[in-house]
Structure 1
């Protein structure tokens, strides 16, 4: 077996690989050389410099695994690798402690005004009275997002004697009790926290999660820290809050635009800024190298690695049978997480028709779970770890088969139970994925773009009032589907719209007479 080290990694990782393979380090390899030479290798290790493109993958008949010694895989064509049955792995846990420590460093820098005091002394000044600080002991830390990094921040904050509040709609009571944290809603956290740290992924739901309304309810001396992703905090609103003394300070390692050359935040004293270095320590780079080296060793030894970004290797015949349903599984998973109210507790998945004859449904189930879990967690969920992550979050998964597929060749039926609602959805694959049933109401919905799903009483005028309300918000309706079981009873309407629909619009629709519920879904 041969492994190509295409970017600089820690020597510990190389030593780990040398136990099972011939290791060739060519950290200055050009894209052209990589295409020419990759045919000789069974594995490749990269960081950020080297791009593993479709061209590279198609030139690699022996390649079994692509390892990214870090968290992201933006420089790897995962789709092309999946098509060739090549595993893509990374090292998501390598940076948890490093980012948590950087978070605490920023908290200390802000609470004790270390950065601006340092600048002052270097300018020849001695302004002791200017830099009155704040103790962390007995202060309240509010953590938004409780994945690997958030959990590590809890451990470190407790050492400083801080009380901890957590906002994470998906944390289980058992996990919260084990960590010794108080779970609250976002508003309660923002009102009460002296220090707020962000540890959630950037998604449509978390985009500008912290903006003007949130700053308005924070304490005047509150400090906010973001080592997660730029765009979760709206920087223009943060600037206003800082200059108008609505909050005490901010510390950012990530920005909406990087580098933030034109940002007005650069001019403020009550801000500490670092250049996206929260994950940059020698220990994190060492751990990343060792983690991916061990993943490669597992593959070479016929074992299953745990940090697989794409699907595990399978025989070509099974892959061809399952591949058409990947898109349907993805869409159904996205639909479920966006319609769930609170924690998802149970998923009952039934495979019908032709799908019932395929033995390996496990891969499709894992793909559904991957799409359900990824939007709510900072660490990547993949086809290998999805069942374990679901189990840790208390989600009960049931799988079944049924020969009857309601007249379709194939059908996936899913019933979801969440804290505050239950949703059932059925989908088929016929050239394209389609949703054909929502909450036992028959529909025919293409799984693209934005849709608004409204549950209402089937009486004259309701459909018109819903359309009017969308029009008031300048939202154009492209298509409409209505499903009902009997006239005058409960009905479901699915509206394909041209614009994204905010929660305020959803609330306005739900406030209409005879409307029971409304939710928007982006597929």
Structure 2
């Protein structure tokens, strides 16, 4: 059955056609997102939801979205999606951060030019029939120093365009390496040096606890007199009240803002100040950008629903289509390892330690971690998945650690999962054979080779004769057919384990009979999703 997607905001016909061409059953209702009651009524029918900014995906909407797997936002901002609720529900939230990069960068350059030459004020004055040529004395960009705060995708394009304008460019970005800075042709500096030396400052960072009010009253005081400040990134990066005071005092010569701390911005300390250029969040507002993000979100959502590829997700590691093909068996194995330990562990888990050895260590470990944690959590929450599991683990204070190493044994690659509780540590390892089938290869340090089935039985006992016969006879007498039987032991006469793959769930009375023999220290039925 084809996945079903609802488009509840205005997307282009070309984006709608992408879904259809990929075999997705698409329901295009561009005004539905404005009707929250109607959206609540129908959302349970869909696997995917494609939106812009009009649709508000609240916790209440998500609670009713029983089949929803992915939300795709055509654009960068996802303030209209309750991401925490989506993550807990196991719904991937995607955006399209690259579709409007050029448009946003160009808007920042345009705003810088506008404030340098006071174009909006001069335009209004001239339209009013005045000819105030001497009033509007601007400054050249050539030879001036541009300070770029945030040298990522959009900031990088701004740096490139500034070089074309013959500006000197310095950049502050904690994640910018010297090699990349040299390649970009920018001077890598700390924030204080940028503030002190820049003639123009433009911001291109997300709004986080670290960047909130990065241009504060204190930092404005560090800037060069006559500086001009441009913000086309996010509201809240600049203390608007402090900037207004600096503009009034003349310390800051001009400002150009496309974004504000509160939007829609019907009032701001920056409004109606001379040489302040403001626009209503137009950074991505070009025909090309709107079309690009619509096409991009359609492709991303189709890829995920049809192949499992994850691109530009905000609550899940990205996995390319090629990775999804190669990693598929390993993701299943990771889930099975987690499921085994999750079913075996009754006490609260303090830590999950995951070891990746050999070829698997070069794969997308973040995604594999999510699969392990999801497997562990399924015992207590059957609806958990790779998106919601890490959120639940974090809420419970479970620490997750990852180690990777080169091939150390006979297998080309394997995964070992260890769970730590107050009482004990429990571990299991597995690999993927050349036939693509996952196998358990070690439990509690005891080597085995066990095929994984839907219904299994795990037992532990002292290594004494007769256990195989006892297990076989008890299963046979009670109509339980054994598909696969695996044994292992630590040493002669030491601890031994058995792992049986059976055709059907083992009746409770059969488990009781095995326990009643007194031969087993543990008798545990297990279930695995091998679909």
Q: TM-score, normalised by structure 1?
A: 0.61
1:139 to 128, 144, 155: 144
Per-residue deviation, residues 119-150 of structure 1 (Å, max 9, x unmatched): 11011100111112211111111001111110
Per-residue deviation, residues 266-303 of structure 1 (Å, max 9, x unmatched): 23112111122212222221111111110122123314
Per-residue deviation, residues 327-371 of structure 1 (Å, max 9, x unmatched): xxxxxxxxxxxxxxxxxxxxxxxx99754499996348689xxxx
Of 77-86 and 149-158, more deviation after overlay is shown by 77-86
Aligned residue number for residue 25 of structure 1? 28
Aligned residue number for residue 284 of structure 2? 279
Aligned residue number for residue 14 of structure 1? 16
2:61 to 56, 60, 65: 56
Aligned residue number for residue 340 of structure 1? none
Aligned-partner SS, 1:161: coil
Shift of 1:405: 5.8
Aligned residue number for residue 3 of structure 1? 5
The answer to whether the Cα contact below 8 Å between 2:146 and 2:167 also exists between their aligned partners in 1 is yes
The CA distance in 1 between the partners of 2:419 and 2:57, in whole Å, is 44
Structure 2 CA distance for partners of 1:152 and 1:242, relative to 1, 3 Å: same
Aligned residue number for residue 427 of structure 1? none
Shift of 1:317: 10
Shift of 1:260: 4.2
2:82 to 59, 73, 77: 77
Shift of 1:160: 0.7
The CA distance in 1 between the partners of 2:132 and 2:118, in whole Å, is 12
Of 156-165 and 259-268, more deviation after overlay is shown by 259-268
Aligned residue number for residue 38 of structure 1? 43
Aligned residue number for residue 165 of structure 1? 170
Aligned residue number for residue 118 of structure 1? 123
The answer to whether the Cα contact below 8 Å between 1:352 and 1:410 also exists between their aligned partners in 2 is no
**What are the residue-to-residue correspondences of 1:22-421 with 2, within 5 Å?**
22-29=25-32, 30-311=35-316, 318=335, 355-356=353-354, 362-363=366-367, 399=404
Aligned-partner SS, 2:241: helix
The CA distance in 2 between the partners of 1:273 and 1:110, in whole Å, is 10
The CA distance in 1 between the partners of 2:230 and 2:243, in whole Å, is 11
* Unmatched runs of 5 consecutive residues or more in structure 2: 320-330, 343-348, 372-385, 388-401, 406-415, 427-531
| Matched residue count | 358
Q: Bigger relative contact order, structure 1 or 2, given CA contacts below 8 A and separation 6+?
A: 1
Aligned-partner SS, 1:131: coil
Structure 2 CA distance for partners of 1:101 and 1:408, relative to 1, 3 Å: farther
The CA distance in 2 between the partners of 1:106 and 1:24, in whole Å, is 39
Structure 2 CA distance for partners of 1:366 and 1:184, relative to 1, 3 Å: farther
Structure 2 CA distance for partners of 1:319 and 1:136, relative to 1, 3 Å: farther
Per-residue deviation, residues 292-324 of structure 1 (Å, max 9, x unmatched): 1101221233141211222379889949959x9
The answer to whether the Cα contact below 8 Å between 1:353 and 1:409 also exists between their aligned partners in 2 is no
Shift of 1:100: 0.6
**What are the residue-to-residue correspondences of 1:508-523 with 2, within 5 Å?**
none
The answer to whether the Cα contact below 8 Å between 2:171 and 2:187 also exists between their aligned partners in 1 is yes
Aligned-partner SS, 1:197: strand
Aligned-partner SS, 1:118: helix
The CA distance in 2 between the partners of 1:290 and 1:267, in whole Å, is 38
Aligned-partner SS, 2:112: helix
Of 226-235 and 208-217, more deviation after overlay is shown by 208-217
Structure 2 CA distance for partners of 1:183 and 1:305, relative to 1, 3 Å: same
Structure 2 CA distance for partners of 1:241 and 1:294, relative to 1, 3 Å: same
Shift of 1:108: 0.4
Aligned-partner SS, 2:72: strand
Of 44-53 and 351-360, more deviation after overlay is shown by 351-360
Aligned-partner SS, 1:301: helix
Of 291-300 and 143-152, more deviation after overlay is shown by 291-300
The CA distance in 2 between the partners of 1:265 and 1:26, in whole Å, is 39
Per-residue deviation, residues 62-103 of structure 1 (Å, max 9, x unmatched): 433221112122323334433443322111112211111110
Structure 2 CA distance for partners of 1:118 and 1:299, relative to 1, 3 Å: same
Shift of 1:410: 6.8
